[in-house]
A and B are shown apart, each in its own frame.
Chain A
């Protein structure tokens, strides 16, 4: 068994230290970089806790959508729409949870 705290705990604690102690001490022109570092850690943390969704053959799906196979009125339209939404929600939950709440 590996020593604790684990990766998620370390990342979260490092991010807190960055925002609480380092960011306020930085000159204004470097604060943006510190915020980006905090954002990157937050994404990595969420990814570590995310379940990998089962993914269909995206290349085939993309080609079919472009060809109109999943247009409204076609048999697979509703299921494809639901699939795309579920896949995108799972990715947004890691990358951009605010967008998820806006469109939820």
Chain B
């Protein structure tokens, strides 16, 4: 793909002398593929990442254009992201649409991040600030029209979505129903929608030398309640075995202080606790779906198989949290 790609990049970057000096496949999933690109751009070496869809999943290939738009909106809101550079919607260049972003240093793996960077209040405050900046993005936004209209009530919409997924999966889950019903009874009133990342957690933040170098994985971003992100980040299931409440990294108070210092308006504690229960419910539904991919034979995988065994532990938390609402 290098020749056609190089020709396209020369036009996109406005640099007829641009050359690709290296390309290596990075970790990727079943849906996306990432390549590290080393280029010489305007006479200087540069490190980029090319992100594209697996050729097997062309049906969702418009996803890259949306992700590019979200990254640009985040960057404009001063969120720390890998700078999006060029979008190519033409599948003929490399076989699928792609975009190119700057490569950032650091690591994201949750278990390693909490061990290496836990207990640094400055980092936790910086994470809170990133979240607050995401939440400054408000509808309506023509560039984010693909997100659709904001739900009139993000909390009730989430309950309905999770119930529909449980029904579609076909396995009765009385404890999840118990948690959802408790959430329904205690549902806080809707707030004006903001852009919520919807997977903002340790593991989706690139960290280098104790600093956030990129907020990753925007595929679930949408209009919603800012407390959804605060609850998701602090949910026990995303603490990677650590006691520290803010993502296994530090104190909730530091996360909130950083959020407020960056201009965020902190939701009340009950609303955040409500979304923390929803975080466990949502992760339990996702975990059940992942195990189902293994069980159905669609994707036999030890990791997916073990993910199914997270459900009883998540359900223990859900029963306890439902009591405290």
Expressed in whole angstroms, the Cα–Cα distance for A99 and B178 within the complex equals: 18
Is B316 in contact with A102, judged by CB distance below 8 angstroms? yes
Interface of A is mostly: helix
Q: Is A103 an interface residue (CB 8 A)?
A: yes
* CB-based contact B306/A91 at 8 Å: no
B312 near A71: Cβ-Cβ < 8 Å: no
Contacting pair A62 B174 (CB below 8 A): yes
Enumerate B224-246 residues with CB–CB distance to A below 8 Å. Answer: none
Instruction: Number of B interface residues at 8 Å Cβ cutoff, please give it.
Output: 25
Set A65, A88, A98, A99: member contacting B177, Cβ < 8 A? A65
CB-based contact A40/B174 at 8 Å: no
- What CA separation (Å) do A68 and B180 show in the bound complex? 11
Q: Which chain B residues border A88 with CB–CB below 8 Å? A: 175, 312, 315-316, 319
Query: How many A residues are at the interface, by size bracket?
Result: 20 to 34
Assembled-state Cα–Cα distance A68/B303 (Å): 36
Whether A66 contacts B181 in the complex (CB less than 8 A), given A36-B306, A88-B316, comes out as yes
Judge if B302 is at the interface, Cβ distance under 8 Å. Answer: yes
A37 to B178, CA, bound (A): 33
Cross-chain contact B173 with A62 (CB below 8 angstroms): yes
- A65:B312 contact, CB within 8 angstroms: no
Main secondary structure of the interface of B (DSSP, over half): helix
Select one of A40, A70, A80, A99 contacting B316, CB under 8 A: A99
Q: Which of chain B's residues have a CB closer than 8 A to the CB of A63?
A: 172
Binary A-proximity of B28-43 (CB < 8 A = 1, otherwise 0): 0000000000000000
Q: Does A62 contact B181, Cβ atoms closer than 8 Å?
A: no
* Contact string against B for A residues 30-72, beta-carbon threshold 8 Å, 1 for contact and 0 otherwise: 0001001101100100000000000000110111011010110
Interface check B313, CB cutoff 8 A: yes
Bound Cα distance A65, B172 (Å): 11
Q: Using Cβ atoms and an 8 Å threshold, which residues of chain A touch B23?
A: none
| Selected A-B contacts with CB under 8 Å, 12 pairs | A39-B306, A58-B172, A62-B177, A65-B174, A65-B177, A81-B319, A88-B315, A88-B316, A95-B309, A96-B309, A99-B314, A103-B317
**Residue ID in chain A nearest B321 by CB atoms:** A103
* Minimal Cβ-Cβ distance residue in A for B176: A62
A81 and B181 alpha carbons, distance in the complex (Å): 13
CB distance from B131 to the nearest CB of A (A): 26
A40 adjacent to B305 (CB under 8 Å):
yes
Contacts of B314 in A (CB 8 A): 99
Cα–Cα distance between A31 and B284 once the two chains are bound (Å): 26
Q: Are A103 and B320 in contact (CB under 8 A)?
A: yes
Indicate if B311 sits at the interface (CB-CB under 8 A). Answer: yes
Q: Mark B78-114, 1 if CB is under 8 A from A, else 0.
A: 0000000000000000000000000000000000000
Q: In this complex, what residue of B is CB-closest to A43?
A: B309
Instruction: Using A40-B305, A96-B310 as known contacts, say yes or no to A71 and B175 having CB atoms under 8 A apart.
Output: no
Instruction: Verify if A17 is at the interface (C-beta below 8 Å from B).
Output: no
Cβ contact of A84, chosen from B163, B172, B319, cutoff 8 A: B319
